[in-house]
Structure 1
Amino acid sequence: MQAAVGHQATTPARWAAVAPAGRPSMARTHPLNVLATLDRARTRRYHLAAAAIAGTGLLAGAYNLFCIIFASRLIGRVYYADETATPGEPGQLPPDAAAALNGVAFCGTFVGELAFSWLGDRIGRRRAYGLALALVAVFSAASGFSFGREAKAVLATLCFFRFWLGVGVGGSHPLSAAIVAEYTNKRTRGAFVAAAHAMQGVGILLGCTVALGVSSVVPEADHVWRAILAAGAVPAALSFYLRTKLPETARYTALVAREPKRAAADMSLVLRTRIQEQELDVSVGRVDDEWGLFSVQFMKRHGLHLLATSSACFLLNLTYYTSMGAVQEVARLARAQALIALCGATPGYILSVVLGRRRLQLAGFAVMTLSMLALAISYDHWTSHAAGFFALYNVTFFFANVGPNTTTFVAPAELFPARLRCTCHGVAMAAGRAGAVLGAFGFLSKGGDYASGIGTRNELFVLAGTNFLGMLMSLFVPETRGASLEVLSKEVIYESNGMFMDSSGG
């Protein structure tokens, strides 16, 4: 079959349903030139546009979640100077109040990842993504206007606004991944999804930059934290506007909405070519097309994939957020998150293409396991050698960011059918958010510190074990590099002149 990327793409590409040997397929068989065109299209400006739009939304989410660190400190100084401060020292936000500010955002993100991922499979990625970005923009701005001069009133309204902000941020995760995955070609798909994900690191660095800039020009502390939080509305509003420039993804339109002609028309405009498409053959049995997330068919085909991707997300975030507490206790450095952002947010999008998602994830978890064991076994040595501790710590989280932190975002956007793609990605991300909550709060004592909890050394041994489990679960995640989404999700296999492409991308 000729690649449908030129000035005219009229040759039909045959798509045949995957069926076990000896059993007739109940899934549809139909020509879908538009999907073959997208899979083989050269990298063009619209690929960059899709990744930039999705990445800007992720940047806005990371900025808003990170900047509460600055706001919490300033709120403590403004509203708790008389209650918690010793003479000559600034006030601090009480541990319960600080936990509430972080906890409501985590809870909102968890809800958003589940709710908006389901919505993305029902009303379309583009519309659902717009709703999620609107929530982020509105409640970012509202956070800066948390009303009341009493500490309790300010915190109560801020917690309310940050919960709904978290819902929008959570919704942007599965939707942005699905949008980029469904727009890009099969050769560079992983790189573009990973590049969009890496924008979260840029969001953290942007938060540091905005905090420095605002604090240098705004004299009143109560105005500084409000301006920092309200500034998070700008990238969200920008992404909301830019998303109107792209049509709905062709895979949703063709495979979920069942309008392949509209998908072909949309992509003809985007690709600046002409794609002819036929209507789906609805005479073919649709029974196999209608099984849902909790069906026996799904569990047989994708249950292990969902378990593996969700477990890897959970274990990674458990390590990630628990270790933040450990590093602050041992080295007492408040810039830990900025170091994490600088340590490896970018290289993953290159290595995910060169090495493949599965191999990169396995390597990342393996290095994290060995590093945590080295920190735990020689813990007494590291307590008096902070420089060495941070060197090994940065090695650990360099591989975390390059490996599992990237691949656990990419793989769930590739493995599942189009009609369940967002939902399954949202389930995996929500599992990761549960791991983040457990990591951030589960190892703390009632006094709010790690030393009187399970102890930092024991915590490091636990984290070595969780990383090892993550490595084991990664064995059940298939390689997705270079293969069509429809092959990976076992919806259809691509046939060209009698030659089949298998899931290895060969």
Structure 2
Amino acid sequence: MALKVLSALDTAKTQYYHFKAIVIAGMGLFTDAYDLFCIPPLMRIIGRVYYEDDNVPNSVVSVMIVIALLGTVIGQLVFGRLGDLIGRRHVYGLALMLMVLSSFGCGFSICTTKKCVLGSLGFYRFLLGVGIGGDYPLSATIMSEFANRRTRGAFIAAVFSMQGFGILASSTVTMVVCKIFERSSATASADHTPPEADIAWRLILMLGCIPAALTCYWRMMMPETARYTALVERNVVQAAKDMEKVLDVSMSQIAEEFPLPPNPPEYSLLSRQFFRRHGRDLLSCSATWFLVDVVFYSSNLLQSLIYHSYIDRQGTKKMNAYDEAFQVARLQAVVAICSTIPGYLVTVYYIDRIGRVRIQLLGFFFMSLVYFAIGIPYKFYWDGNTNFGFIFLYCLTFFFANFGPNTTTFIVPAELFPARFRSTCHGISGAVGKVGAIIGSVGFLWASLDEESGRPRPNGMTVALMILGGVCVVGVVVTYFFTFETMGRSLEDNENEDDD
């Protein structure tokens, strides 16, 4: 028989605390996107400041990409497991504080030599990745456990949609700071990069810690989720007290006459019984997240390089460091406004109407079509004045990624596992996804760029985009045959351990 407090959560009306939880949980995803998307334009400035040929070598770009993603893998595994062992809220604030401190540290270096600056940036980006990785399973799990059954998907998708606003904020801050420094400098030119440019990129990175820092207090004050308290800690009375404080229900409605939940099964995470009951779901969540991150991070992390042909038309050799970074940031902002954010918002609206599986299938399918459409005739788009068609189709990939598998792979693991394994399994799924991000982004970088010039190679870009389209086709197959629909299910359905 379901506990009253958990039934009340499933049927609770949407209220102020739900929206407050979305903002608190979403700030981690906001910071994640901010720090990820400010790197491409800032690499333009760093190249102008520290490299004679004005270009950061591919090897350095690869290291900066991989080291942050490697930290994310570690953070998802460690914090995901800790979220199930010692509680969601106990490690939630720690992940955010790590993100704030490392985000600030990314722009801080007491030396100005190339090796020291890049070493410091790499170290803090690794720590930032650990904090971001820890935030993923905790944010998704906490939001799913606070939400009601009817709108749970929309709430989790709303948390994840904060990434879109983080992208827009990153691009906006970069453009504003670049313009301020450019106007205050009398020596900035295509042939000369003023010393103040070394301050500009640091300032942009440091500003990214402010939104997350503003929510630290509220994260610390959040109560533990009732589902963890009741089902894992087995303290039903405390779960009812916590929910009385945050939801519009009275204690008489949720107090149990016999406040003892049923004894949970005794099998462990690595047991044969776990894999028999949950192995297929874990494999499905991990595989689809792996596939979408191969595609999504390949495009996102290298967005500025894919658009390099467009920027070259503006005459990069005539631009100063601030102008070049401004152009990259502006293109990112256009993509965010026209495709990324709308994709998130459409998912929020439809996720509890047509379901996770259908949206994931739709996203993978149309992404594959678009990648084939821009990959096969890639050279044609840039031979004349037809690059608008490429930009339009490329924006569609981001729309269908976010109105598709990029969002649903974040939602489904938070709804598919028992409370005592929920955060861990979400962390495992996300960690496998970030391994795909490492493979995809670095492989895409080396396959699509000329090693000497650092510019995109048409043949390499065609091959890379075609491979990404093929990966999306595999995503359609895996989703159709292995992904389980969670729309409308109670989270307590996952606690049913009957063999049937």
- TM-score, normalised with respect to structure 1: 0.84
Q: Which residue of structure 1 lines up, in the alignment, with residue 35 of structure 2?
A: 64
1:331 CA displacement: 4.8
Q: Which residue of structure 1 lines up, in the alignment, with residue 255 of structure 2?
A: 276
1:221 CA displacement: 1.3
CA distance in 1, matches of 2:215, 2:34: 14
Match of 2:474 among 469, 472, 486: 469
Q: Secondary structure at the match of 1:179?
A: helix
Q: Secondary structure at the match of 2:345?
A: coil
Q: Which residue of structure 2 lines up, in the alignment, with residue 7 of structure 1?
A: none
How many equivalent residue pairs?
A: 453
* Contact 1:126-1:243 within 8 A present in 2 as well: yes
* Contact 2:68-2:125 within 8 A present in 1 as well: yes
* Contact 1:340-1:398 within 8 A present in 2 as well: no
* Contact 2:69-2:438 within 8 A present in 1 as well: yes
1:321 CA displacement: 2.7
Worse-superposed segment, 176-185 or 386-395 = 386-395
State whether structure 2 residue 197 is matched by structure 1 residue 221. Answer: yes
Q: Which residue of structure 1 lines up, in the alignment, with residue 47 of structure 2?
A: 76
CA distance in 1, matches of 2:458, 2:421: 41
* Contact 1:108-1:165 within 8 A present in 2 as well: yes
CA distance in 2, matches of 1:263, 1:318: 40
State whether structure 2 residue 170 is matched by structure 1 residue 170. Answer: no
1:412 CA displacement: 0.8
Q: Which residue of structure 2 lines up, in the alignment, with residue 491 of structure 1?
A: 496
* 4+ aligned runs moved over 6 Å, structure 1: none
* Contact 1:310-1:429 within 8 A present in 2 as well: yes
CA distance in 1, matches of 2:219, 2:76: 19
Q: Which residue of structure 1 lines up, in the alignment, with residue 403 of structure 2?
A: 402
Cα distance change, pair 204–252 in 1 and its aligned pair in 2 (3 A): same
CA distance in 2, matches of 1:164, 1:381: 42
CA distance in 2, matches of 1:454, 1:115: 41
Cα distance change, pair 211–460 in 1 and its aligned pair in 2 (3 A): closer
* Contact 1:450-1:456 within 8 A present in 2 as well: no
* Contact 1:173-1:426 within 8 A present in 2 as well: yes
Structure 2 letter corresponding to 1:92: N
Q: Which residue of structure 1 lines up, in the alignment, with residue 11 of structure 2?
A: 40
Q: Secondary structure at the match of 2:439?
A: helix
* Contact 2:89-2:219 within 8 A present in 1 as well: yes
Cα distance change, pair 281–244 in 1 and its aligned pair in 2 (3 A): closer
1:130 CA displacement: 0.5
Cα distance change, pair 44–101 in 1 and its aligned pair in 2 (3 A): same
1:252 CA displacement: 0.8
Q: Which residue of structure 2 lines up, in the alignment, with residue 8 of structure 1?
A: none
Q: Which residue of structure 1 lines up, in the alignment, with residue 394 of structure 2?
A: 393
- For the aligned residue pairs, the C-alpha RMSD in angstroms reads 2.4
Worse-superposed segment, 32-41 or 135-144 = 135-144
State whether structure 2 residue 455 is matched by structure 1 residue 447. Answer: no
* Contact 1:261-1:278 within 8 A present in 2 as well: no
Structure 2 letter corresponding to 1:352: I
Alignment of 1:346-495 (within 5 A): 346-384=345-383, 385-443=386-444, 444-445=446-447, 447=451, 455-475=460-480, 476-487=482-493, 489-491=494-496
Q: Percent identity?
A: 45
Q: Secondary structure at the match of 1:350?
A: helix
* Contact 1:117-1:423 within 8 A present in 2 as well: yes
Structure 2 letter corresponding to 1:120: G
1:172 CA displacement: 0.7
Structure 2 letter corresponding to 1:414: E
Cα distance change, pair 240–492 in 1 and its aligned pair in 2 (3 A): farther
Q: Deviations over 1:191-216 (max 9, x none)?
A: 01001100001011111122223334
Unaligned stretches of 5+ residues in structure 2: 185-195, 312-326
Q: Which residue of structure 2 lines up, in the alignment, with residue 302 of structure 1?
A: 278
1:247 CA displacement: 0.6
CA distance in 2, matches of 1:99, 1:453: 20
CA distance in 2, matches of 1:67, 1:47: 30
CA distance in 2, matches of 1:484, 1:331: 49
Q: Which residue of structure 2 lines up, in the alignment, with residue 318 of structure 1?
A: 294
Q: Which residue of structure 1 lines up, in the alignment, with residue 189 of structure 2?
A: none
Cα distance change, pair 424–278 in 1 and its aligned pair in 2 (3 A): farther
CA distance in 1, matches of 2:110, 2:60: 17
* Contact 1:259-1:279 within 8 A present in 2 as well: no
CA distance in 1, matches of 2:219, 2:308: 42
1:97 CA displacement: 2.3
State whether structure 2 residue 307 is matched by structure 1 residue 328. Answer: yes
Q: Deviations over 1:296-341 (max 9, x none)?
A: 2222222111111111111111112334548336655835543443
Q: Secondary structure at the match of 2:420?
A: helix
1:95 CA displacement: 2.6
* Contact 2:109-2:117 within 8 A present in 1 as well: yes
More helix by percentage: 2
Worse-superposed segment, 250-259 or 385-394 = 385-394
Cα distance change, pair 186–216 in 1 and its aligned pair in 2 (3 A): same
Q: Deviations over 1:357-415 (max 9, x none)?
A: 11111111111122223334444543443222222222232111111111111111100
Cα distance change, pair 58–33 in 1 and its aligned pair in 2 (3 A): same
CA distance in 1, matches of 2:346, 2:160: 11
Q: Which residue of structure 1 lines up, in the alignment, with residue 239 of structure 2?
A: 263
* Contact 1:146-1:157 within 8 A present in 2 as well: yes
State whether structure 2 residue 206 is matched by structure 1 residue 230. Answer: yes
1:294 CA displacement: 2.2
1:248 CA displacement: 0.7
Worse-superposed segment, 330-339 or 209-218 = 330-339
* Contact 1:35-1:250 within 8 A present in 2 as well: yes
Structure 1 letter corresponding to 2:32: G
Cα distance change, pair 450–440 in 1 and its aligned pair in 2 (3 A): farther
Cα distance change, pair 73–389 in 1 and its aligned pair in 2 (3 A): closer
* Contact 2:103-2:205 within 8 A present in 1 as well: yes
Q: Secondary structure at the match of 2:217?
A: helix
* Contact 2:296-2:406 within 8 A present in 1 as well: no
CA distance in 2, matches of 1:462, 1:70: 26
CA distance in 1, matches of 2:457, 2:82: 43
Q: Secondary structure at the match of 1:419?
A: coil
CA distance in 2, matches of 1:74, 1:395: 29
Q: Secondary structure at the match of 1:164?
A: helix
Unaligned stretches of 5+ residues in structure 1: 1-13, 16-31, 85-90, 494-506
1:105 CA displacement: 1.0
- TM-score, normalised with respect to structure 2: 0.85
1:102 CA displacement: 2.2
* Contact 2:172-2:333 within 8 A present in 1 as well: no
Between 1 and 2, higher relative CO (CA 8 Å, sep ≥ 6) is seen in 2
